[in-house]
Structures are given as C-alpha cells and as structure tokens.
Amino acid sequence: MQIGQTLKVLRTAAKLKQTTLADRLGVTTNYLSLVENDHREPSLSFLKKFAEVLDIPLGYLLWVVLDDHPADDTIAVREQMDGLLSALTRQRRYASPEHTAR
C-alpha cells in the first residue's frame, strides 16, 4: 500500500475529516489531499506529526507502509488498523493516572 493510501485509511479509521486533520497537522487541506492521493511525498516530520496527532506509534505507521500490502488488502489493513487504534486507546485509558488511582 502506498504511503498516501495508508494515511487516508488511518485518518478515516480515526473518523477525522481532511479539514480537521489538516488543521491539527498545520497543513492545508489541499496538501493533505495531495499526500493521501500519492501526488506528494510526505516528509519525516510530517509523518511524525501525523502519528502524534492520531496517537499511534510512528514505527507502526512505517511498518504498514514498508510491509507493502497490495491495494486489494485495503479493507483487511483498515480492519487491522481499527483494531490497533482501539487497543491503543484502551491501553492508554487503563494506564492513565485517573484509572490507576482508583
């Protein structure tokens, strides 16, 4: 899967609109669209910020891209990402100071 496709799948799995994510990343919606459609290569700093905003490990993002999933596997990858995002959210919620103080 191309980097842009991966970013789009992650954005939609996080239920974010392009405009919302672009604002959080400090880029224009047009630039984000170009990246998601593989017309622009994102910089490492962009990928770091993307991972930070979506609260996912940068290593996972790079693994998904480098693992070279075929385009036909987009749905399976989306399901994997949804599962990962859910697991990370649960993990962070249970590791939060409010939860451990109980």
**Total domains, the chain:** 1
Per-residue pLDDT for the chain (102 aa), expressed as one digit of tens each?
Answer: 688 988 998 899 889 999 999 999 999 999 999 999 999 999 999 999 999 999 888 888 877 777 665 544 555 666 777 777 777 777 766 665 655 555
- The domain spanning residue 79 has which CATH number? 1.10.260.40
Taking phi first (over 0 means left), then psi (-120 to 50 degrees means alpha), and beta for anything else, what does residue 70 get? beta
Per-residue confidence (pLDDT) for residue 52, from 0 to 100: 93
Is the Cβ–Cβ distance between 29 and 18 less than 8 Å?
A: yes
Per-residue confidence (pLDDT) for residue 74, from 0 to 100: 56
Show the domain range for 18.
3-100
Tokens of 74: 């987009």
Tokens of 52: 């930070």
Per-residue confidence (pLDDT) for residue 85, from 0 to 100: 74
